[in-house]
């Protein structure tokens, strides 16, 4: 590997990537003080259109570009060490090329934000004031109280409400930190002091990791001896790591088969070799349990990158990884950009999950880019899933990845039995609540009688997904988006799930002034009420975006784990990798809901959701049971998910993809145009379609053009969205046509805004 990237740039000019929506770099001069100080990946301050912008140096150059007479000089250097390592920068340049996205925007999306005021701290000569002020040089100190219960008898002491609550929270735990109490109890400091005076607890000031993922102490675990299938997978992966073969693997293991244990072992090998690893997970907020397992194995040798970090914490994590002080980065899709030193392994857990696709700004797919980054870094890439994406499984079948299988559960538990309930015959059960069918009601009753727990999955939050006016029959819609308003009964509001619009449910119909609504469909809030009414003794909780913003996901899951909740009703948040022993029943309230999307991946998505949620049941000794309610019991996605038959599903799905020519047999590029006026959006999209038709590959049919058509959500936050879809089995020709459109977009299409989406989801 050349070390050209690490060397200082001695040339008189540099190319700088700026965070502007233009697919190019900009030339700046290098004045004396900066000669020899700038490096590839350095962040610099430059003037651009009379503004000061932060850009990244990507290369040096000896002369000005043709036709350019002079260049402004770089105005300041914002860090003594480049923010990007050479390996990371090369990967990001390639990613920008692949997605045809402006390199400056890609680099800005990948780098941690500069600390506030960094620009202002530049001295007159363009250098930073003092080295200590540089990001990451300071060790973050965070002091908090660690609180422990004493053995004194609580029963004999009179306590106030907040004091009682704190004692309750402390029960059954070794210790807790003051910070954890802030969301539970107001002014926790005084409550702690009062209880200490009564002799019921002790506290002391300690230095703590400010990251909530590190608050609770975790005991080191004892790794279980691997099963034969696990051992085979671990060996294959670690051999590749140790022999430095940059090969990709697909780890296909049923739910509960011990994929995480394979990741842990492989990452451990990497650490023993003194190298680093990245683990990407779908949504970090939903996987505190997984982070706990990594801490139990690796202690503090992990950095968890998540959106809850402050800019300073993110910067500290970034520096720790770069310098190799911390070897393992864990996070959602953006952890793909972690500057892990000597990267040898990239793992993508639940690789099929749609959340790996970033759907605004720099639209990338973190799973696809994980493969690219690993390849560039000379690292091994492991994609893991119980329900691999069709594209990934196809790749493995073609021999482009090694396939490793874990066919049974690691603990010896069996996969749950699945009963399909045909909703055309069983709509309302004995209680009359819609979607609480007789069989589901009976299964819940049995589960609760046995003192076990259940999860009910329904992918719609709110009380009713829409409401219809009894007076005029109009469905209440958002004034800014082309969607129905969802009824949220607890909040007394009708809400748009795409913008902030909401209005009181008591307000009269905007069409006719009547004031009675007919509820259409069932959401999680209604399902929760239905279960509470049908089983008055059950403790029912809800997990969706409405409840998560209040109590927090972790707190809700904790209540399920500790047995404080009998039934958890929730959206797809309940389908992710939770491993809760007491859960023996999973009810899928409406299995065919996701089949309704006008998308060639609807069937795949449904199969994945159903198989994943079913996998939550019966993970311990007691066998699990799944009730799958559906209007389409014969649909392959439903039928085969019920039989846990991934191979069969894949076989049917891949055939139909081939027939209609969709990925992986063709590639797609989507062009998105939006504007405040519908005609403008439509005309600009039509213009781009006409532009594409000038290309030979479109004229002779090698690249197909679908559209222009209104986007699935034609109006969003008051703007009109149009689409054009380019499709071709020939990747090169498709990219040529896309490049032609990119060039046209770069010339500007006012008053519209147009973007490309390569490999759209
Ligand atoms: P997956 O990630 O494939 O869903 P997990 O890694 O969460 O599966 O493992 C499921 C359960 O099996 C966990 O409780 C885990 O501790 C346990 N487990 C994993 N490997 C083994 C093993 N080799 N022996 C015993 N238990 C195991
Ligand atoms: Zn709206």
Encode burial over 176-199: b for 16+ CB neighbours within 10 A, e otherwise: bbbebbeeebeebeebbebbeeee
Regarding the beta carbon of 604 and ligand 1, being less than 6 Å apart is answered no
Q: Report whether pLDDT(537) > 80.
A: yes
Q: Atom 9 in ligand 1: which residue has the minimum CA distance?
A: 258
* Predicted pLDDT at 141: 45
Regarding the beta carbon of 255 and ligand 1, being less than 6 Å apart is answered yes
What confidence category does residue 577 fall into, taking pLDDT thresholds of 50, 70 and 90? Answer: low
Q: Which atom of ligand 1 is nearest to the CA of 260?
A: 6
Ligand nearest to the CA of 292: 1
Nearest to 337, CA basis, from 268, 264, 263, 280: 280
Q: Ligand 1 centroid vs 259 CA: distance in angstroms? A: 7
SS3 of 628, please? Answer: strand
Nearest to 31, CA basis, from 2, 63, 72, 64: 72
Q: Ligand 1 centroid vs 579 CA: distance in angstroms? A: 9
Q: Ligand 2 centroid vs 745 CA: distance in angstroms? A: 28
Across residues 55-66, what is the average pLDDT? 94
Regarding the beta carbon of 230 and ligand 1, being less than 6 Å apart is answered yes
Please state whether beta strands 248-253 and 402-406 pair in parallel, antiparallel, or not at all (unpaired). parallel
Q: Atom 19 in ligand 1: which residue has the minimum CA distance?
A: 258
SS3 of 98, please? Answer: helix
Q: Ligand 2 centroid vs 593 CA: distance in angstroms? A: 22
Q: Which atom of ligand 1 is nearest to the CA of 615?
A: 4
Please give the full DSSP string across 276-322, using - where no structure is assigned.
EEEEE-S-GGG-HHHHHHHHHHHTT-EEEE-TTS-HHHHHHHHHHHH
- Name 192's Cβ contacts closer than 8 Å, sequence gap at least 6: 145, 147, 166, 178, 181, 201, 203
d(CA 442, CA 625): 12
Across residues 119-142, what is the average pLDDT? 58
Q: Report whether pLDDT(137) > 70.
A: no
* Predicted pLDDT at 445: 97
Q: Report whether pLDDT(110) > 90.
A: yes
* Predicted pLDDT at 103: 97
Mutate to test the pocket of ligand 1, among 230, 256, 279 (most ligand atoms within 8 A of CB): 256
Q: Report whether pLDDT(51) > 50.
A: yes
Place of tokens 């004396």: 32
Q: Ligand 1 centroid vs 333 CA: distance in angstroms? A: 24
Q: Report whether pLDDT(244) > 50.
A: yes
Q: Which domains does the chain have, with CATH numbers?
A: 13-124 (3.40.1440.60), 143-207 (1.10.10), 228-406 (3.40.50.300), 417-461+523-656 (3.40.50.300), 466-520 (no CATH), 667-758 (3.30.70.600)
Regarding the beta carbon of 287 and ligand 1, being less than 6 Å apart is answered no
* Predicted pLDDT at 216: 65
Q: Atom 11 in ligand 1: which residue has the minimum CA distance?
A: 256
Mutate to test the pocket of ligand 1, among 221, 261, 621 (most ligand atoms within 8 A of CB): 261
Q: Find out whether 454 and 583 touch, Cβ atoms under 8 Å.
A: yes
d(CA 533, CA 529): 6
Regarding the beta carbon of 253 and ligand 1, being less than 6 Å apart is answered yes
Regarding the beta carbon of 126 and ligand 1, being less than 6 Å apart is answered no
Regarding the beta carbon of 405 and ligand 1, being less than 6 Å apart is answered no
Regarding the beta carbon of 385 and ligand 1, being less than 6 Å apart is answered no
- pLDDT for 394-427, tens place per residue? 999 999 999 999 999 888 888 889 999 999 998 7
Regarding the beta carbon of 410 and ligand 1, being less than 6 Å apart is answered yes
d(CA 340, CA 301): 12
Ligand nearest to the CA of 495: 2
What confidence category does residue 134 fall into, taking pLDDT thresholds of 50, 70 and 90? Answer: very low
Q: Report whether pLDDT(133) > 70.
A: no
The mean-pLDDT minimum among 12-21, 285-294, 419-428, 560-569 falls in 285-294
Q: Ligand 1 centroid vs 566 CA: distance in angstroms? A: 24
Nearest to 172, CA basis, from 551, 562, 453: 562
Q: Ligand 1 centroid vs 30 CA: distance in angstroms? A: 56
- Stated as kind and residue range, the H or E segment containing 49 is none
Q: What is the mean pLDDT of the chain?
A: 89
Q: Ligand 2 centroid vs 499 CA: distance in angstroms? A: 4
Across residues 518-546, what is the average pLDDT? 94
Regarding the beta carbon of 387 and ligand 1, being less than 6 Å apart is answered no
- pLDDT for 498-513, tens place per residue? 998 999 988 888 889 8
Regarding the beta carbon of 411 and ligand 1, being less than 6 Å apart is answered yes
Q: Atom 21 in ligand 1: which residue has the minimum CA distance?
A: 410
Residue ranges of alpha helices (H) inside 524-601 are 524-534, 545-548, 553-561
Across residues 478-498, what is the average pLDDT? 94
d(CA 436, CA 494): 24
Ligand nearest to the CA of 498: 2
Nearest to 609, CA basis, from 757, 426, 507, 459: 459
* Predicted pLDDT at 539: 97
A 10 A CB-CB count for 660 gives: 9
* Predicted pLDDT at 530: 96
What confidence category does residue 285 fall into, taking pLDDT thresholds of 50, 70 and 90? Answer: low
* Predicted pLDDT at 1: 36
Place of tokens 């004034």: 479
What confidence category does residue 211 fall into, taking pLDDT thresholds of 50, 70 and 90? Answer: low
Across residues 434-450, what is the average pLDDT? 95
SS3 of 761, please? Answer: coil
Q: Ligand 1 centroid vs 382 CA: distance in angstroms? A: 17
Q: Find out whether 207 and 142 touch, Cβ atoms under 8 Å.
A: yes
Query: Which 3-state string (H, E, C) describes 160-176?
Result: CHHHHHHHHHHCCCCCE
Regarding the beta carbon of 223 and ligand 1, being less than 6 Å apart is answered no
Q: Ligand 2 centroid vs 484 CA: distance in angstroms? A: 9
d(CA 541, CA 410): 29
pTM score over 0.85: yes
Q: Ligand 2 centroid vs 460 CA: distance in angstroms? A: 16
Residue ranges of alpha helices (H) inside 155-285 are 161-170, 178-181, 188-197, 228-242, 259-272
- Stated as kind and residue range, the H or E segment containing 739 is helix 731-746
Q: Find out whether 7 and 39 touch, Cβ atoms under 8 Å.
A: yes
Q: Find out whether 348 and 356 touch, Cβ atoms under 8 Å.
A: yes
Q: How much of the chain, in percent, has pLDDT values that exceed 70?
A: 94
Nearest to 405, CA basis, from 647, 572, 238: 647
Place of tokens 């194995």: 297
**Cα dihedral sign, 367-368-369-370:** positive
- Stated as kind and residue range, the H or E segment containing 687 is helix 678-693
Across residues 350-371, what is the average pLDDT? 95
What confidence category does residue 118 fall into, taking pLDDT thresholds of 50, 70 and 90? Answer: confident
740 against 317, higher pLDDT: 740
- pLDDT for 143-170, tens place per residue? 678 888 887 777 778 888 889 888 888 8
Q: Ligand 1 centroid vs 387 CA: distance in angstroms? A: 17
Q: Ligand 1 centroid vs 645 CA: distance in angstroms? A: 21
Regarding the beta carbon of 258 and ligand 1, being less than 6 Å apart is answered yes
* Predicted pLDDT at 249: 98
d(CA 477, CA 713): 13
d(CA 83, CA 54): 12
d(CA 438, CA 444): 10
The beta strands (E) that lie in 324-465 are given as 328-331, 343-349, 380-385, 402-406, 417-422, 453-457
Ligand nearest to the CA of 578: 1
Regarding the beta carbon of 408 and ligand 1, being less than 6 Å apart is answered no
* Predicted pLDDT at 438: 94
Q: Find out whether 270 and 277 touch, Cβ atoms under 8 Å.
A: yes
Phi, psi for 521 (deg, rounded to 5)? 85, 175
Residue 289 C-beta-side C-alpha neighbours within 13 Å:
15
- pLDDT for 605-635, tens place per residue? 999 999 988 888 776 677 889 999 999 999 9
d(CA 296, CA 219): 6
Phi, psi for 195 (deg, rounded to 5)? -70, -35
The mean-pLDDT minimum among 254-268, 327-341, 456-470, 553-567 falls in 553-567
Q: Ligand 1 centroid vs 282 CA: distance in angstroms? A: 19
- pLDDT for 673-727, tens place per residue? 999 999 999 999 999 999 999 999 999 999 999 999 999 889 999 999 999 999 9
d(CA 587, CA 442): 11
Q: Atom 4 in ligand 1: which residue has the minimum CA distance?
A: 256
Q: Atom 5 in ligand 1: which residue has the minimum CA distance?
A: 258
């Amino acid at each position: 590997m050349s070390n050209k990237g690490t060397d200082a740039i001695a040339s008189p000019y540099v190319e700088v990537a700026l965070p502007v929506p233009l697919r190019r770099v900009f030339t700046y001069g290098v004045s004396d003080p900066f000669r020899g100080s700038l490096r590839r990946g350095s962040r610099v301050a430059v003037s651009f259109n009379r503004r000061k912008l932060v850009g990244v140096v990507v290369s040096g150059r000896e002369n000005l570009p043709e036709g350019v007479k002079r260049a402004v000089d770089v105005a300041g250097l914002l860090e003594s060490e480049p923010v990007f390592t050479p390996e990371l920068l090369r990967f990001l340049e390639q990613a920008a090329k692949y997605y045809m996205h402006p390199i400056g925007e890609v680099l800005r999306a990948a780098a941690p934000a500069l600390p506030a005021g960094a620009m202002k701290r530049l001295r007159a000569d363009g250098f930073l004031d003092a080295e200590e002020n540089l990001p990451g040089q300071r060790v973050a100190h965070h002091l908090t109280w660690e609180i422990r219960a004493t053995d004194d008898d609580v029963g004999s002491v009179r306590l106030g409400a907040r004091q009682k609550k704190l004692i309750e929270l402390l029960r059954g735990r070794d210790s807790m930190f003051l910070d954890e109490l802030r969301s539970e109890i107001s002014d926790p400091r005084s409550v702690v002091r009062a209880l200490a005076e009564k002799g019921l607890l002790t506290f002391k000031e300690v230095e703590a990791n400010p990251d909530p993922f590190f608050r609770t102490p975790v005991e080191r675990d004892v790794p279980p001896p691997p099963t034969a299938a696990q051992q085979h997978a671990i060996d294959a992966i670690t051999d590749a790591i140790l022999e430095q073969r940059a090969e990709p693997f697909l780890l296909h293991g049923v739910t509960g088969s011990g994929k995480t244990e394979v990741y842990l072992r492989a990452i451990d090998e990497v650490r023993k070799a003194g190298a680093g690893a990245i683990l990407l997970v779908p949504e970090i907020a939903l996987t505190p349990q997984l982070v706990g397992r990594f801490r139990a194995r690796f202690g503090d040798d992990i950095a968890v990158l998540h959106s809850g970090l402050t800019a300073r914490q993110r910067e500290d994590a970034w520096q720790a990884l770069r310098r190799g002080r911390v070897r393992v980065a864990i996070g959602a899709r953006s952890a793909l950009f972690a500057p892990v030193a000597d990267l040898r392994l990239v793992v993508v857990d639940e690789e099929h999950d749609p959340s790996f696709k970033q759907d605004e700004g720099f639209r990338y797919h973190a799973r696809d880019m994980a493969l690219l980054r690993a390849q560039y870094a000379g690292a091994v890439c492991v994609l893991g899933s119980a329900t691999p994406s069709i594209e990934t499984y196809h790749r493995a079948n073609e021999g482009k990845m090694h396939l490793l299988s874990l066919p049974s559960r690691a603990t010896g538990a069996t996969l749950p039995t699945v009963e399909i309930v045909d909703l055309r015959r069983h709509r309302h059960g004995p209680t009359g609540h819609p979607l609480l069918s007789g069989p589901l009601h009976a299964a819940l009753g049995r589960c609760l009688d046995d003192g076990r727990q259940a999860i009910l999955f329904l992918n719609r939050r709110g009380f009713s997904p829409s409401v219809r006016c009894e007076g005029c029959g109009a469905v209440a819609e958002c004034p800014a988006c082309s969607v129905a308003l969802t009824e949220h009964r607890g909040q007394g509001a009708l809400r748009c799930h795409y913008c902030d619009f909401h209005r009181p449910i008591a307000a009269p119909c905007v069409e006719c002034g009547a004031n009675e609504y007919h509820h259409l469909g069932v959401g999680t809030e209604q399902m929760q009420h239905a279960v509470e009414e049908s089983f008055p003794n059950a403790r029912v909780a809800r997990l969706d975006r409405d409840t998560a913003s209040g109590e927090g996901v972790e707190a809700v899951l904790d209540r399920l784990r500790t047995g404080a909740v009998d039934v958890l009703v929730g959206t797809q948040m309940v389908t992710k990798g939770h491993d809760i022993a007491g859960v023996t029943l999973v009810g899928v309230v409406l299995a065919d809901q996701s089949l309704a999307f006008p998308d060639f991946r609807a069937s795949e998505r449904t199969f994945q959701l159903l198989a994943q949620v079913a996998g939550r049941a019966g993970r311990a000794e007691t066998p699990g049971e799944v009730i799958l309610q559906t209007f389409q019991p014969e649909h392959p996605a439903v039928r085969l998910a019920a039989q846990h038959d991934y191979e069969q599903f894949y076989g049917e799905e891949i055939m139909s993809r081939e027939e209609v020519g969709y990925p992986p047999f063709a590639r797609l590029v989507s062009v998105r145009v939006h504007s405040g006026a519908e005609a403008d959006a439509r005309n600009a999209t039509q213009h781009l379609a006409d532009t594409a038709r000038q290309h030979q590959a479109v004229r002779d049919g090698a690249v197909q053009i679908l559209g222009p058509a209104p986007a699935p959500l034609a109006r969003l936050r008051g703007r009109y969205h149009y689409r054009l879809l380019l499709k071709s089995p020939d990747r090169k020709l498709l990219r040529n046509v896309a490049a032609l459109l990119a060039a046209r977009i770069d010339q500007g299409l006012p008053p519209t805004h147009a973007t490309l989406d390569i490999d759209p989801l």
